[in-house]
C-alpha cells in the first residue's frame, strides 16, 4: 500500500510493513545495554543453540563473548564450512564514476572535495572489465557515486548490457533508484544490488549527510526492498563501522537482515563489514572498532545467519584478511582499485574537477592517485589496505586449504 514519507511516495512491497517502519520498534539501545551486562554463562548457552534471537546475537557482541573468542571462531569456522564448503568467492569492484552530488563527510567522493573526477565512457568500462577478466574475475561489482547527470539508469543499464556476456555475475553499488529504474538494469543482466545504510543511527546519519538526496534516511533504508521488487536476486547490506557505536550498528544490520530473509526470501542476502579507511577530506572515524572486535563480529554474524554471505573488502590489511577468510567470510575483493580507470588507465584525458554539476578543467589536486605504470590520476574513494594482486590472494586462499572461486554459476549447464 502506498504511503507518504518525507514527501516521497513509498510503496510497501513485502508481506510485512516496510523495514523503515519496523526499525523504530527494534530495541537497539536496550539490546546494546544487554551486550554490556550479559554473563559468560548466558553467552555459552547461546553458543549451544542452533537458532539465535537478536538478544542472543547481542550477547555474542559482548565483552564476555570476546573472552570466548576462540570458541566463537571454531563454531563459526565449522558452520561456514558446513554451509558453504571450503571455498572463498572473489569479486572485483569496477568504479565507473567518482562524480557525486552528495556530501558524505567520511567519503573521498563527497561533492565539495576538490578531487579529480571521471566518468568512464562505455567502451572504457568494457576495457576495464576485460582487464579484470584476464586476471580471472567473473564476478563484478560496478561502483559509482550518485550523480544522475553522469551516472543515469540508462548509462548503467548500457554498461551492464555490454558486460553481461563476459561476466555471469554482475552487482551494482550505486545511488539508490526507483523500482522501475532498477528493472531496466536487471533486464540488462545485473543480479545483485549492494546498498550500505552507512549508519542506522538517525541522528548520526543526519550529521554525516548534510547535503544531497542521500539525506533521506528512509529512502535509502527501503532501497533493498525496491531492488528486490525490481528482480535483483542478491541483496547486499551493511553499516560503515566508525560512525556510531559498532554494537548498535551490528544489531540494526542483523534486524535488517532478518527482515529481508523473511520478506525478500527469494533473494540471497549478503552482509558487508566495512570499517572506515583514510580518504580525501581526511575524515577521522568517530568511533573505534578493534581488529579483535571485527573478528568477533564476523563470527557473531555467521552464528546468527548460517546461510548469509559475509563480504570483506581490501579496506582491511592483508594479515587480518588472511586470518578472517576461514572464520566466516565467503566473498572477498582482491587487487582492487577505487578510482575510475584504475585497472587500465582509461579516461585519463577526460579527468576534470566538477563545480556545482559543471565540468571545469582539472587543477592540481593533492588527492590525485598516481600509480606506477598505467593507472589514471582520478581520485580513489579510499585507500586500499590490502594491496596484493588477485593472483596472490588466490594463491594464499589455496595455501590455507580453500578453493578460490572466480564465478558462481554458468548461464547454461555444462556437461
Ligand atoms: S558515500 Fe557514496 S553518496 Fe556519499 S559521497 Fe561517497 S560516493 Fe557519494
The mean pLDDT of the chain is 90
How far apart are the CA of 67 and the centre of ligand 1, in A?
37
Nearest protein CA to atom 5 of ligand 1, as residue: 110
* pTM exceeds cut of 0.75: yes
Question: What integer pLDDT is reported at residue 255 of this predicted model?
Answer: 98
3-state helix/strand/coil string of the chain: CEEEECCEEEECCCCCCCHHHHHCCCCHHHHHHHHHHCCHHHHHHHHHCCCCCHHHHHHHCCHHHHCCHHHHHHHHHHHHHHHHCCEEEEEEEEEEECCCCCECCCCCCCCCCCCCECECCHHHHHHHHHHHHHCCCCEEEEEECCCCCCCCHHHHHHHHHHHCCCCCEEEEECCCCCHHHHHHHHHHCCCEEECCCECCCHHHHHHHCCECHHHCHHHHHCHHHHHHHHCCCEEEEEECECCCCHHHHHHHHHHHHHHHHHHCCCCEEEEECCECCCCCCCCCCCCCCCHHHHHHHHHHHHHHCCCCEEEECCCCCHHHHHHHHHHCCCEEECCCCCCCCCCCCCCHHHCEEEECCEEEECCCCCCCCCCCCCCCCCCCCCCCCCCCCHHHHHHHHHHCCCEEECCCCCCCCCC
Question: What integer pLDDT is reported at residue 409 of this predicted model?
Answer: 55
pLDDT in tens, 228-238: 999 999 999 99
Q: Name all residues whose Cβ lies below 6 A of ligand 1.
A: 100, 102, 104, 107, 109-110, 145-146, 214
pLDDT for 22 beyond 90: yes
How far apart are the CA of 110 and the centre of ligand 1, in A?
6
How far apart are the CA of 232 and the centre of ligand 1, in A?
22
Nearest protein CA to atom 2 of ligand 1, as residue: 145
Q: Span 183-197, mean pLDDT?
A: 98
pLDDT for 186 beyond 90: yes
Atom of ligand 1 nearest to the CA of 209: 4
Question: What integer pLDDT is reported at residue 11 of this predicted model?
Answer: 45
Amino acid at each position: 500500500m502506498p504511503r507518504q514519507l518525507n514527501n516521497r511516495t513509498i510503496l510497501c512491497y513485502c508481506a510485512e510493513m516496510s523495514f523503515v517502519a519496523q526499525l523504530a520498534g527494534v530495541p537497539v539501545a536496550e539490546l546494546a545495554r544487554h551486550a554490556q551486562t550479559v554473563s559468560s554463562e548466558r553467552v555459552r548457552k547461546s553458543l549451544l543453540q542452533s537458532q539465535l534471537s537478536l538478544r542472543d546475537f547481542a550477547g555474542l557482541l559482548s565483552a564476555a563473548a570476546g573472552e570466548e573468542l576462540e570458541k566463537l571462531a571454531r563454531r563459526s569456522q565449522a558452520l561456514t564450512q558446513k554451509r558453504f564448503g571450503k571455498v572463498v568467492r572473489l569479486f572485483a569492484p569496477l568504479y565507473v564514476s567518482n562524480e557525486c552530488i552528495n556530501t558524505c563527510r567520511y567519503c573521498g567522493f563527497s561533492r565539495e572535495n576538490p578531487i579529480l573526477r571521471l566518468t568512464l565512457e562505455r567502451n572504457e568500462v568494457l576495457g576495464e572489465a576485460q582487464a579484470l577478466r584476464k586476471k580471472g574475475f567473473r564476478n563484478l561489482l560496478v561502483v559509482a557515486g550518485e550523480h544522475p547527470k553522469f551516472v543515469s539508469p540508462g548509462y548503467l543499464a548500457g554498461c551492464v548490457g555490454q558486460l553481461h556476456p563476459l561476466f555471469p555475475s554482475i552487482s551494482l553499488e550505486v545511488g539508490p533508484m526507483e523500482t522501475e529504474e532498477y528493472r531496466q538494469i536487471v533486464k540488462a543482466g545485473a543480479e545483485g544490488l549492494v546498498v550500505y545504510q552507512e549508519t542506522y543511527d538517525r541522528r548520526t546519519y543526519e550529521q554525516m549527510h548534510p547535503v544531497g538526496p542521500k539525506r533521506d534516511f528512509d529512502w535509502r533504508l527501503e532501497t533493498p526492498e525496491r531492488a528486490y521488487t525490481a528482480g535483483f536476486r542478491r541483496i547486499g547490506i551493511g553499516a560503515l563501522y566508525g560512525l556510531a557505536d559498532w554494537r548498535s550498528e551490528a544489531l540494526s544490520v542483523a534486524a535488517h537482515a532478518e527482515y529481508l530473509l523473511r520478506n525478500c526470501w527469494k533473494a540471497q542476502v549478503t552482509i558487508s563489514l566495512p570499517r572506515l579507511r583514510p580518504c580525501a577530506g581526511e575524515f577521522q572515524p568517530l568511533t573505534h572498532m578493534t581488529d579483535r572486535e571485527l573478528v568477533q563480529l564476523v563470527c557473531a554474524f555467521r552464528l546468527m545467519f548460517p546461510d548469509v554471505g559475509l563480504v570483506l573488502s581490501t579496506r582491511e590489511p592483508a594479515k587480518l584478511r588472511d586470518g578472517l577468510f576461514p572464520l566466516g567470510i565467503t566473498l572477498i575483493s582482491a587487487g582492487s582499485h577505487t578510482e575510475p580507470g584504475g585497472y587500465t588507465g582509461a579516461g585519463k584525458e577526460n579527468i576534470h574537477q566538477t563545480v556545482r554539476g559543471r565540468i571545469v578543467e582539472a587543477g592540481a589536486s593533492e588527492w590525485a592517485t598516481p600509480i606506477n605504470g598505467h593507472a589514471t590520476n582520478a581520485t580513489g574513494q579510499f585507500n586500499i589496505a590490502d594491496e596484493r594482486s588477485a593472483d596472490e590472494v588466490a594463491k594464499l586462499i589455496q595455501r590455507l586449504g580453500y578453493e578460490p572461486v572466480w564465478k558462481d554459476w554458468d548461464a547454461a549447464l555444462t556437461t
